[in-house]
Amino acid sequence: MHPMNSQKSIVILISGRGSNMESLLAAVAAGTLPVRVAAVLSNRPDAAGLQSAAAQGVPTRVVDHKQFADRVAFDAAMSEAIDAFAPDLVVLAGFMRILSEGFVRRYEGRLMNIHPSLLPAFPGLHTHRKALDEGVRVHGCTVHFVTPALDHGPVVVQAAVPVLDDDDEAALAARVLAQEHRVYPQAVRWFAEGRLRLVGQRVLLDAPQDAAGALIAPRVPAA
């Protein structure tokens, strides 16, 4: 166990309902994620996740991107708001803004994102539609450190799910989201425990790893 004074703090950035934020707050409340959530910040004053965070006693702030002339000015204001809480890690949880290179460099190695695909496949938006259109049999989500290239950066953890013949976007999205809620708290915990090491474009994990098992899709029941 780490002493309390060494506990890492995080700031979570959201733009909407914040379901991944909720999974992080739930893990903190359950004692399985040993971090302090210093604040939840949003670029949208109407983000539903702000009310949820405040109801759980987490400080919230809004930096409305519509109040700024350009991306650089907004990013500077958001950086100021983040730095007021001096977090060890900045966690993007459905934060729907493309960040400037200056912002990303400022938090290099301590800026984490979750993306609903198995990167580098399907960066950007509408990932579940793209997966269905391409006919892939395996889809999933990726937690990664953020770099200036959109939806790229060293991968911390990925979770894969099967794509079923009768899937639509909503069904596939729900299956992936359930895995997002599992792996994001785990990735943040590894960071908080000092288990992650960046080597070039790879993230090495200081923990025993299991080489057994595979997700095969489609898998059919044995006769």
Per-residue pLDDT of the chain (223 residues; tens, 9 = 90+): 344 448 999 999 999 999 999 999 999 999 999 999 999 999 999 999 999 999 999 999 999 999 999 999 999 999 999 999 999 999 999 999 999 999 999 999 999 999 999 999 999 999 999 999 999 999 999 999 999 988 999 999 999 999 999 999 999 999 999 999 999 999 999 999 999 999 999 999 999 999 998 999 999 988 7
At 174, list the tokens. 């729900």
Specify the DSSP class assigned to residue 65.
G
Give the C-alpha distances (Å, rounded to integers) separating 33 from 17, 144, 156, 186, 194. 21, 18, 16, 8, 13
Give the C-alpha distances (Å, rounded to integers) separating 82 from 49, 77, 98, 193. 17, 9, 17, 22
Q: How far apart (Å, rounded) are the C-alpha atoms in residues 81 and 85?
A: 7
CB within 8 Å of 19: residues ≥ 6 apart:
94, 177, 180, 181
Residue 222's pLDDT is what?
81
Give the C-alpha distances (Å, rounded to integers) separating 50 from 56, 148, 197. 10, 27, 32
At 130, list the tokens. 């793209």
Residue ranges per structural domain of the chain: 4-205
Q: Which long-range contacts (CB under 8 A, 24 or more apart) does 100-105 make?
A: 100/71, 100/72, 100/75, 101/148, 102/72, 102/75, 103/75, 103/78, 103/79, 104/146, 104/147, 104/148, 105/148
Residues in the chain, how many?
Answer: 223
- Which of 185, 180, 124 is CA-nearest to residue 151? 124
Residue 187's pLDDT is what?
98
Is residue 41 within 8 Å of 78, Cβ to Cβ? yes
Residue 213's pLDDT is what?
87
Indicate the CATH number of 4-205 among 2.70.98.50, 3.40.1010.10, 3.40.50.170, 3.40.50.150. 3.40.50.170
Q: How far apart (Å, rounded) are the C-alpha atoms in residues 155 and 108?
A: 14
Residue 1's pLDDT is what?
39
- Which of 53, 37, 25 is CA-nearest to residue 89? 37
- 142, β-bridge pairs: 115, 158
Could you list the active site residues? Answer: 115
State which H helix or E strand residue 140 sits in.
strand 138-145
Angle at 127 between CA 125 and CA 131, to 5 degrees: 150
